[in-house]
Amino acid sequence: MILHVIETADSRTMAELQLERLKETLNHAYRNVPFYQKKFDQLMITPDKIASLQDIQHLPFTTKKDLRDHYPFGLFAVPRNEIVRLHASSGTSGKPTVVAYTQKDIDMWSDIVARSIAIGGGETGELLHNAYGYGLFTGGLGLHYGSERLGMMTVPVSGGNTERQIQLIEDFKPTVICGTPSYILAVAEKMEHLGKNPAETSLRYGIFGAEPWSEEMRITLENKWNIKACDIYGLSEVIGPGVAMECHEAQDGLHIAEDHFYTEIIDPATLQVLPEGEEGELVFTSLTKEALPIIRYRTGDIASIKKQLCACGRTTIKMSRVKGRVDDMLIIRGVNVFPSEIEHHLLSIPELSPHYQLLLSKENNLDCLEVVVEINQTVFNSQDEYENRENFNSLSRKVEHILKTGCYISVRAAVVAPGTIPRSEGKAVRLIDKRKVAQ
Ligand code: DLL
């Protein structure tokens, strides 16, 4: 196991480092990004007024809209000839958000992803199969550079072409696999379909993220592949993957690379900072980035943070698994629910598979939710039993019941045959909002 020195620093050492780096970042942003200078001036704050980490609460937030409003290069803090890489996230509406890296940023990013892979169980000299998409998305190249930095033999497979993924896993014998949990599940199912057993490959660790996934999904992936599956978190605006990583020893929360990112949890309604342990919106401030310093970036992701010594020996602050996005929260007849909570209940029924979609529509001016989920063929004793229409119907009623008692929502459920729900090679599309089309 590789433990980076900074990951075991005491709270005081970490806080001193963070404050020093915060001051540098604020000066850099104030001097070089007119957007930040204007915002600070409006609030009559100058970077030298920030004397403690708590003072960060006086600083303005940055949002995705701010990045879009300055599309493409308006928030960059260095001359164009110092930028060596651009990435972009597609976003559901309007322009993408563009992010930039200097060579120093790429080096820092590679370091934190190397640390993340090690936190997840990867070791120098092993082989890593990288099924995150390569391109403008930060997943592929982010994991790639980190894997090389750790000294792993790195296979840049990217997403898609599932049969080739399987062949390369069989032939190259990787020990670590990376990809979105939904896609890596689809690869396992393809193997099963071909009469192969994913549990018999050389793989030992999975580094999965870029989309919300539940504890039940972890168990499914771990059992199917016979691996340990850990959660990696990140977002383009902050750097990409590697902002936080779950350790394979404890599998209980993600270690934030807090020497590079200062973390706050805020109430998304009041924007007030919440005490440690409370759930709210994650907000990050970069502490070492050159090309795109980002101050109090509102991620839209819901989680909580806690500082405690972990079983793995690290002292870095940990965040909980992301429950969902502020804007993904569904309000069904007044009851708030996140798709991940629905997933948690669906996967507690063994006859169902982790492939599902949530269809949101409007009927008589009320929001209605239909839950479509695939049946898990493997748990039936015979083909006849599986094909029995009654089983599909009674399972649908079971889903309605479990969501009523577990999430307090009334839904219409439809249990469908395997393969009905489209598979994604990257982030799974779980929620289809038909209300917007209907309006
Ligand atoms: O998804 C970066 C990434 C790549 C992370 C590979 C992990 C692995 P974006 O495309 O900018 O960047 O999307 C960022 O994805 O705000 C979350 O809503 C979601 N997300 C990322 N990781 C997780 C995770 C990459 N582990 C957005 N759990 C974020 C839940 C995640 N949601």
Q: Locate 431 and state its tokens.
A: 């929620």
Domain, as residue range, for 103: 1-326
Taking only the tens place, the pLDDT of each residue in 140-198 is: 999 999 999 999 999 999 999 999 999 999 999 999 999 999 999 999 999 999 999 99
CA–CA gap between residue 165 and residue 187 (Å, rounded): 8
Site to probe by mutation for ligand 1, drawn from 119, 230, 235, 322 as the one with most ligand atoms within 8 Å of Cβ, is 235
DSSP H helices in 57-122: 64-69, 103-119
CA–CA gap between residue 67 and residue 237 (Å, rounded): 9
124, 264: one domain: yes
* CATH number of the domain enclosing 426: 3.30.300.30
End of a domain among 269, 304, 326? 326
Residue nearest to atom 30 of ligand 1 (CA): 212
215, 141: one domain: yes
Q: How many domains does the chain have?
A: 2
3-state SS class at 371: strand
CA–CA gap between residue 321 and residue 254 (Å, rounded): 7
- Calculate how far, in angstroms, residue 355's C-alpha sits from the geometric centre of ligand 1: 19
Using a cut of 0.85, tell me whether the model's pTM lies above it: yes
pLDDT digit of tens for each residue in the chain (439 aa)? 667 899 999 999 999 999 999 999 999 999 999 999 999 999 999 999 999 999 999 999 999 999 999 999 999 999 999 999 999 987 655 688 999 999 999 999 999 999 999 999 999 999 999 999 999 999 999 999 999 999 999 999 999 999 999 999 999 999 999 999 999 999 999 999 999 999 999 999 999 999 999 999 999 999 999 999 999 999 999 999 999 999 999 999 999 999 999 999 999 999 999 999 999 999 999 999 999 999 999 999 999 999 989 999 999 999 999 999 998 888 888 899 999 899 999 999 999 999 999 999 998 888 899 999 999 988 888 888 888 888 899 999 999 999 999 999 999 999 999 999 999 899 999 999 888 654 4
- Calculate how far, in angstroms, residue 366's C-alpha sits from the geometric centre of ligand 1: 31
Taking only the tens place, the pLDDT of each residue in 264-296 is: 999 999 999 999 999 999 999 999 999 999 999
> Could you tell me if 213 and 179 are in contact, meaning their C-beta atoms sit under 8 angstroms apart?
no
CA geometry: angle 283, 287, 292, nearest 5 deg: 85
End of a domain among 326, 342, 375? 326
214, 237: one domain: yes
265, 333: one domain: no
Catalogue the long-range contacts made by 47-51 (C-beta closer than 8 Å, 24 or more residues apart): 47/23, 50/22, 50/23, 50/26
Q: Is the CB of 341 under 6 A from ligand 1?
A: no
Q: Is the CB of 322 under 6 A from ligand 1?
A: yes
245, 319: one domain: yes
End of a domain among 285, 301, 326? 326
> Could you tell me if 330 and 336 are in contact, meaning their C-beta atoms sit under 8 angstroms apart?
yes
69, 157: one domain: yes
CA–CA gap between residue 154 and residue 436 (Å, rounded): 43
